[in-house]
Structure formats: structure tokens, C-alpha cells
Amino acid sequence: MYIKSVTARVLLLATAWSALALVVIALVISALYAKSSERAFTDLLRAQLYNVINSITIGDDNSLAGNPQLGDLRFSQPETGWYWIVEPLGTFAATPLSSSSLGTSNIQVPSILNVPFNNRYERFYPATDAYGNHVLVAETEVVLDADGRAARFRVSGNLSVVDEDISGFTRNLYIALIVFGLGSLVVNGLAILFGLRPLDEARRALEKVRRGEVERLEGKFPREVQSLAVEMNALIDSNRRIVERARMQVGNLAHSLKTPIAVLLNESRLLERPQGELVRSQAEAMQGQVQSYLNRARIAAQRESLLARTEAEPVLERLVRVMRRLNSEREFQLEVSPPGLALAMEQQDVEETVGNLLENAARHASTTVWLSVHPAQGPEGAEAAKRSWVEIIVEDDGPGLEPHEIKEALKRGRRLDESKPGTGLGLSIVGEITREYQGAFELSRGERGGLRARLTLPGPAREIV
């Protein structure tokens, strides 16, 4: 899964790392505390064991004597799992002694092979008493007198004490770590959001540039982002200079060719009809070709500019007013929905494409020309998905065209109706400008029977998410 947001990435990484760290800390602390509790429990049993050893002697009647006082009432309460036992070994035939908590029961002694003594001649092993208590037994063997008489000493403690202690500590530890983790998550989230806010501000500033609302990145940025803003502004300035230079060169070329072509057109009127018509048609074709390639050069120079933006409604309203004055016998209806639609195009390109379509529609309409503008679905592709798209439809109520006639009409210089004025270049110019902006242009028969021209043109860039 690819996460586009830097904030989401950092938050996710910080959360995952914090959760993993807290889990590891909880496990390590729990394990260390468990080992410490078990070691403390073993040390307690060892201390109690030696208290019993120090309390037992051999009496005058050759019996075991003594009454260990271990300071723990559990050794006197039955079925607690806390016992002490003293048993004679070898030929020493004395009566064993045990705590009152053991009663008449006993604890099985494992083989030395299974549980050997350590270097202190002690051994510890788990066992289960007659009451089902799981206990840990500390055992050693001690020689009690000079005659070599010895006894086995055992002290047991209930392991539930250790288990309860470890469980209580672990529970409290987990609660504390969960509270700490949630608090840390909130603090980390706020810190990350605050720390990355300048990037979000830079993104919004760049969006304003992409939408044509401003010409430069504006705002106060921290040192790490300021250099990026400076470079972006330098790039925008460089882009603007390139566009202006291209426009100037295109204008110079157009101006230098305009006069020679105009001279040819004027001279063609003075020539005899066959020769004059030939020169005039070729000069007009030359004029159309020059204008077409000049348009291509100009559009290519500024197509990728971040600053190309034209509000659709005022430009189209101005075109419609002009067409109404030039074609008073025709009715022109304009609809822009929703208001405020913009095109990522130069204004003169919008005027040339839509103006050509309106002129063509007015030339062939019976009474009415309709012009509508609304948002549209753009062409397929990742680049197209980065911006919005606008659909412009020009329709008339004239005779329309058949499918094979539409193909002919889109060819450069072809005129299907020679009785009406025109050069036959309008529709081809519309198609060329539209393609240069990576849009779409198509002709079809409209619902009202006339010709329907549909343009799909780029709008402002979408907001980056």
C-alpha cells in the first residue's frame, strides 16, 4: 500500500515504532520482574531453610528437637503450601518433625539424579502437595553432631504468591504503558502535525499558483522550506520569461510575414481571373498555414505554463455579444454552469477556438445558435487526471452534416458550401489548437438537427492530495 501523505507516513511510522517499543519494553520488564520475583522467592525459602536448620538439634533422648519460629503464620495454618520438614537420614532413627500446616501429609522427594544438589549442597524443585498447591521446595542435608548423624531439611513456599505478584505487577505495568503510549501518540501526532505544517502551507501556496490565483509562492516558510520556495519562484520566473520570449518571437514572425502575404493578396486582384484566383487561393492557404504554425509554436511555448488561466464566462459573453452584432438575424443563447468555470488556456486561444465554432454555426444556422459550458470527464491517463476538464458545446438548428461530410469538413481548406464566405480553415484550426492543449474536438448531428461541435478543454489543476 502506497501512502501519498507525508504526514500520514510519519504518523504511521511513529505510531508503529512507539507501539513496537512499548510492547518490547513491557515484555522485557515483565520478564526481568518475573526473574527477580522468582529469585527473591528462592532467597526467602533459603533463609527460612537455614532458620529451620539453626532451630533443630538432637535431644538427650537421641530424638530431633526444636521449634522453629519463622515469623510467618502460614507455616501454622493448614493447606497453605508453606511447610517445613526435618527427616533423619541413614541409621539415625528419629521421628521426623514438620510444621503444623503440613498435618499428616508429606511432599514427595525427587531423585538426586533428577534434581541434583548445587555447589552449596542445596537443591530447589517444584512439587504439588496433597492439597493441590503448587509449591517450590528448598532442600539440603546437614550433619547434626560429631557422631555423623544427619537430617534432610526441607522448606516449601506456595508458588501462587509469586504468580499473583507477577500478574499484579504485569497488569499495572501494561495499564501504565498503555496510558503512556496513548499520551505519547497524541503528543507525537501534535508535534508531527505542527512540524509538517510548513509543508502543507507550501502545498497550498503551490496550488494557488497552479490554479492561476497568484503568480508566485507567497508566505513565510521555515529555513528548510524557504530554499524550495525560492527555487520554485525562480522556476516560475524563468518559465514566464521563456513564454514572453516565445510570444515576442512569434509576434515578430507574424508581423514579418503579414505584409508580404497581404501584398500577394492585393496583387492577385489585379491579375487576370485564372491567374489571380490561383495566386489568391495560394496566398490564403499560405496565410492559413503560417497562422496555424504560429499558433502551434505559441501554444507549445506556454502550454505547460503554471500561469495560463482564462475565466470562461466573461470571454464567452464577449464573443456572443460580438456575434449578435454581426449576425442580428440570428439568436445566440449562452449557458455556463456552474458559474466561475476557468480554462487552463490563453484567452486568445479560447477566443479563436470558440469564435471559429460560433462563426461556423452562425453561417449555417436557421435561427438560433446555442453555446453551453459545463465540467466534463477528461481523457484517460495519469496526466489528465491531475487537472479538471471543461466541455464546450456549440450547436445550431441548421441542416447539419452527414458523417462523411463531417470528415471532409475537418480537413484543412475544405469548404462544403462554396456559396457562403470563408476559407475552410476554421474547423481545422480549432482541432489543431485543441490537440495542442491535449483536449478533444468532435462534430456530430445535434438533437435539434443541426451541427453539434463538442470541445473538451483543460481546466485548472486539481488540488494535490
- The 10s digit of each residue's pLDDT in 355-384 is 999 998 998 899 999 999 999 887 665 455
Q: Are residues 317 and 440 in the same domain?
A: yes
Rounded Cα gap, residues 11 and 242, in angstroms = 41
Same domain, 366 and 411: yes
Average pLDDT over residues 31-49: 94
Q: What is the mean pLDDT of residues 50-60?
A: 89
pLDDT of residue 51: 93
Domain boundary among 307, 324, 339: 307
* Residue-averaged pLDDT of the chain: 83
Residue 199 lies in a domain: no
pLDDT surpassing 50 at residue 424 = no
Residue 157 and residue 127 share a domain:
yes
Q: How many angstroms separate the Cα of 418 from the Cα of each of 50, 369, 408, 423? A: 126, 21, 14, 10
Count of domains forming the chain: 3
Mean pLDDT score, 77-104: 89
Pick the residue with more confidence: 91 or 306?
91
Q: Regarding predicted confidence, which is higher, 56 or 377?
A: 56
Overall average pLDDT of the 19-29 stretch:
92
Residue whose cell numbers read 521446595: 137
Contacts of 68 (CB under 8 A, 6+ apart): 51, 52, 55, 56, 84, 99
Give the mean pLDDT of 46-55: 93
Of the residues 164, 183, 198, the one at which a domain ends: 164
Radius of gyration of the chain (CA): 49
Q: Tell me the residue type at 412.
A: R
Same domain, 141 and 279: no
User: What tens digit of pLDDT does each residue of 143-191 get?
Assistant: 988 888 899 999 999 999 999 999 999 999 999 999 998 998 888 888 8
Q: Is residue 176 part of a domain?
A: no
Residues 299 and 353 grouped into a single domain: no
Residues 267-293: what's their mean pLDDT?
75
pLDDT at 416 over 60: no
Q: Are residues 370 and 426 in the same domain?
A: yes
pLDDT tops 80 at residue 68: yes
Q: What is the pLDDT of residue 380?
A: 66
**Which of 40-54, 143-157, 210-224, 356-370 has the weakest average pLDDT?**
210-224
The verdict on 366 and 457 lying in the same domain is yes
Q: Is residue 393 over pLDDT 70? A: yes
- CA dist 99 and 158 (Å) reads 14
Q: Is 142 helix (H, G, I), strand (E, B) or coil?
A: strand
Q: Average pLDDT in the 197-202 region?
A: 80
Please identify, among 289, 307, 325, the residue that sits at the C-terminal boundary of a domain: 307
Max intra-chain CA distance, the chain: 161
Most confident option among 25-29, 252-256, 386-390? 25-29
- Say which residue the cell 451541427 belongs to: 451
Place of cell 501519498: 4
Verify that 314 and 434 share a domain, yes or no: yes
pLDDT of res. 318:
93
Same-domain pairing of 13 and 82: yes
Higher-confidence residue of 382 and 27: namely 27
Residue 240 has pLDDT above 90, yes or no: no
Supply the range of the domain harboring residue 116: 9-164
The average pLDDT across 311-331 equals 92
Cα–Cα distance for residue pair 82/159, rounded to 1 Å: 10
| pLDDT at residue 419, rounded to an integer | 43
Residue, of 34 and 382, whose pLDDT is higher: 34
Residue written as grid cell 486561444: 349
Query: Confidence class of residue 459 from pLDDT cuts 50, 70 and 90?
Result: confident
Whether residue 397 is predicted with pLDDT greater than 50 in this model: the reply is: yes
C-alpha cell at 198: 510548513
| Together in a domain, 151 and 251 | no
* Cβ 32 vs Cβ 124: under 8 Å: no
Could you tell me the pLDDT band of residue 45, with boundaries at 50, 70 and 90?
very high
Does the pTM of the predicted model rise above 0.85? no
Range in 38-42, 184-188, 415-419 the model is least confident about: 415-419
Instruction: Please report whether residue 46 resides in a domain.
Output: yes
pLDDT band at 420 (very low <50, low <70, confident <90, very high): very low
Q: Residue 427 pLDDT > 70, yes or no?
A: yes
* Mean local confidence (pLDDT), 416-420: 45
Asked whether residue 314 falls in the same domain as residue 297, the answer is: no
The answer to the question of residue 185 being in a domain is no
Distances (CA, A) of 355 to 145, 158, 215, 277: 125, 98, 28, 27
Residue 2 resides in a domain: no
List the single range of 135-149, 237-251, 427-441 with lowest mean pLDDT: 237-251
Same domain? For 55 and 83 the reply is: yes
Dist CA 363 CA 420 (whole Å): 7
Instruction: Determine the pLDDT at residue 9.
Output: 81
The CATH number that applies at residue 357 is: 3.30.565.10
421, part of any domain: yes
Q: Would you state the pLDDT for residue 262?
A: 77
Does residue 59 belong to any structural domain of this protein? Answer: yes
Spatial separation of the C-alpha atoms in residues 81 and 132, rounded to whole Å = 9
Q: Which residues pair with residue 375 across a beta bridge? A: 390
Neighbours of 325 (CB within 10 A): 8
Looking up cell 497562422 gives 291
In a domain, 198, yes or no: no
